[in-house]
Each structure stands twice: as structure tokens, then as C-alpha cells.
Copies of this chain bind each other. A is one copy, B any other.
Amino acid sequence: MPRIRDILHAGEPGQSTTIQGWVRTKREAKGITFVEVNDGSSMAGLQVVLSADLAGYDAVVKDLTTGSSVEIGGTLVESPGKGQRVELQGESITVYGTADGETYPLQKKRHSFEYLRSLGHLRSRTNTLGAVFRVRNACAQAIHQFFNERGFLWMHTPIITASDCEGAGEMFAVTGLDLANPPKTKEGAVDYSQDFFGKPAYLTVSGQLEAEIMAMAFSNVYTFGPTFRAENSNTSRHLAEFWMVEPEMAFCDLTGNMDLAEEFLKYIFHSVLEHCPEDMAFFNDRIDNSVLATADNIINNTFERITYTDAVKLLEKTDRKFEFPVEWGIDLQSEHERYLAEDLFKKPVIVTDYPTGIKAFYMRLNDGGETVAAMDVLAPKVGEIIGGSQREERLDVLERRIQEAGLPLEDYWWYLDLRRFGTVPHAGFGLGFERLVQFMTGMGNIRDVIPFPRTPDSIEF
């Protein structure tokens, strides 16, 4: 069966066709009924015209309520309506499933996104969520294409892990033990030797360290998988479960890393605009009228590149009042990042070489030791969208940094081995996939860009 998207783009008047989908709206006139049928392939549905001479017209039309599912055969005709080339003159119709007008929750009126979250099993049938998940898919496909075209291998790093990438805590525990009555050691502690993995296990917060392993064999790799935070953050930007993209490149320094990040963002935005123009126009029209301008800004500007030290000087010089005062050594806040990207440079900015004290142990120490070869890509409207670094490839420096971070060296034996045997300069970055989709669509709440959001006290569906 053809998809409605294809019929809308390429269907010709006179052509016979059959469509399958769900009724969005029905309008009855004298002896004629107009039905809009949507199959999820595009924002726009196909208008179907049913005449009273259709067999069983009255009974069928009664069943064609919003949400009912149908198969309709007929002939395409030129559409007199605006904004559509063709419509379908229905000649045969099967109603697969009805949707009772009294109980079907998605009637024509607009619903709040919050209410729709309670209908996670139905909300994808609305215009906005439909567009979100088509764009999300286009974005995900573009990510694979980008890396595949460049010879990067997709590597599946582990979800269940015994190691903690950044010593950051806030991890979910995974266990096969009976929580009500776990086995205990003589000392009264939980006896993890009896658990499935023989030791405490967690959900991963990042695949980076394992991606480094794979980059030391295949040169260029990337991960694209779920990651987790057990943070009790009830905000519009946090999820307990989200997808992350993490490329890792051997024989690469911070400049190469910046080049890749810039090329990557441009590619993804370009690809989504190419594949989902109608959905993107919808977001610009209904959700955030800067969405298309932002995409254009990213695609057509060379990203600014400045050091953290220079960025702090610029922030100190401005008359803009910030909630968080600026001085060398602070972590940049969203207001600072947005000022740089949105107001000062009016385009994406890559800030590099952050103070050692505010960044993770694995980032490469610059000469002098005060800064590390870190980079954050800041975008207008949202601030940080990508974070990355050149990794510390020197064994002695890395050992010292792990110890200074208060982490046990022995936990990192294999990570250190990568520096013992054929170590090379290497670099990579991480991108929160849902934040990218949120940024791209202008959706206000991150819970509305992932099909089934996991947040504190929320695990339905």
C-alpha cells in the first residue's frame, strides 16, 4: 500500500489507490462527507470524499469518528481545496476499528502537553507529537548516516556496568537480588557475591570509557545508546533515561574534535530540514517561531571558537547583569553561555580549555596544568549542546589525575592499560540526543521529545 506522504507528493489525478490510516476529522455536508485520514507518514492527511451513493454510506459514515481506523480504495482527483494537490474519491471502505466519540480521549480540541503525557499510548496520534517523533527519527537516521559515511563504527557499549565513568554517583542500581530480603555477609552488608554479576552493578551514565577502548582498535567509533541518571530533577530539561551519542577518535586532538562537532551539527540540521520540511515548518509556526532561523544559523555560520579564559574576559566586560557573577574558575552557567552564543556572537560558539578544577579527570591537561583540553559547543537559545575533550593519553599524568580526583586507581586498570600499550592522542564528545531534538523542534519540555519519558515518579507505559 502507498503511504499518504507519497500520495500527497506524487499522486496523480485519475490514479486508483488504496490508503490505510486513522480518521482525524470528519465533516458532513448534504449527501457528501469529507474525511481526513492520517497514517503517520506525514503531518498532512489525505482528504477523502465519500458520496451518498457509496454502498452502506449511512452506516459507514456513522462509524468514521475521530480515531477510527479505515482502509479506503478510490480514485485520486484534483483537489479544489487549498494546500493539497489531490484528494481521494472514495469507492470502497473498510472500517477496521471504531473509536467511541464519548470515550476516545483525543477529540478535536487542543490538549495541554501535560495532559497528553498521561496518554502516552495515544499522544503520538496528535499533530505535534507526530511531528516530534518523525523529526526524532530523521535526526537519529542522520546521525548514523553521518558517522557511517565517515567510516566510524557504531559500537554498543554496556548498559549494565560496574564502573562509574566520572565518579559522579547518581546511578541506578541493577540487581537480581530480592530487595525485601537480600543475602547479607557476616558483617551485615549486602552480600553482592550472591548477586547476578557477583558485585554491585549500575546503569551506565556514559559509554565514553568503553568507546575509548574501541577507538584504540578501530580509530573512529561512536556510541548511540541509552544512558541514565538517578537525579531527582523535576525540570523540563532532565530525564532519568535518555539517549546519548558519543563519537571517539584516535589520532585526534581538540581541533579535530571541534571540526567534527561543527560538521556533525550542520549535517544533522541540514538532513532534518531536507527530510521533514513540513514538520519543521509546523514547529516554527506553532511551537517556537525561531526554530527555522536557528537551524539556518547553525548550518550557515562558521562556529566561533574561543578559550574559556577569553570567554570569561568577554563576560566580565559586558554591561549585562548576570544572576551568577563571573570570574575565572567558575563553571559557566546557562545565562553566560546563552549570552555568548545568542547576544554576543549570534551563532554557535565553541569554548575551549576550561579550568582543570571544574572538569573530569580524563580530560587532557594543558601545559601549565591550569586548564584542560575540554570543549563545549554553545548554541543560541539553549546553551551547551555538546561537551567533549581531548583525552589524557599520558599514563603518568592520568594516574595522578585519577588519584587527585579521589578515585581508586585499581578500578581503572584497563583504562590505564590503554595508555600503557600503544597510547595515542584521542578525543571525543557527547551529545544528549533528546536535548538536540528539543533544541531542533523548540519543544519546551524534554518529556515531549522521547516516546516514554522516565522521570521521578513517572514510569507509566
Contact = CB atoms under 8 A, between A and B. Distances in A.
A213 to B, nearest CB: 5
A203 B174 contact: yes
A235 interface: no
Interface string A176-209: 1101101000000110000011110101000000
A213 B124 contact: yes
A98 B129 CA distance: 53
Given A137-B153, A174-B203, A230 B196 contact: yes
A433 to B, nearest CB: 8
Contact of A190 (B180, B214, B414): B180
A134 B226 CA distance: 22
A82 to B, nearest CB: 26
A12 interface: no
Interface in A414-461: 414-415, 417-425, 450-452, 454, 456-461
Of listed A20, A121, A157, A197, residue having the most chain B CB within 10 A: A121
A198 B172 CA distance: 14
Contact of A158 (B140, B189, B214, B452): B452
Interface in A63-109: 67-69, 71, 96-100, 103-104
A424 B96 contact: yes
The count of identical subunits is 2
A225 interface: yes
Nearest to A123: B217
Given A243-B156, A454-B158, A151 B230 contact: no
Interface residues of A, number: 103
Interface of A: 1, 3, 5, 20-23, 39-41, 67-69, 71, 96-100, 103-104, 120-122, 124-125, 129-130, 133-134, 137, 140-141, 144, 148, 151, 153-163, 172-177, 179-180, 182, 189-190, 196-199, 201, 203, 210, 213-214, 216-219, 225-226, 228, 230, 232, 240-241, 243, 250-251, 393, 414-415, 417-425, 450-452, 454, 456-461
Given A20-B250, A160-B459, 10 more contacts: A1-B251, A3-B151, A20-B251, A121-B415, A122-B217, A130-B218, A156-B450, A162-B460, A172-B176, A180-B189
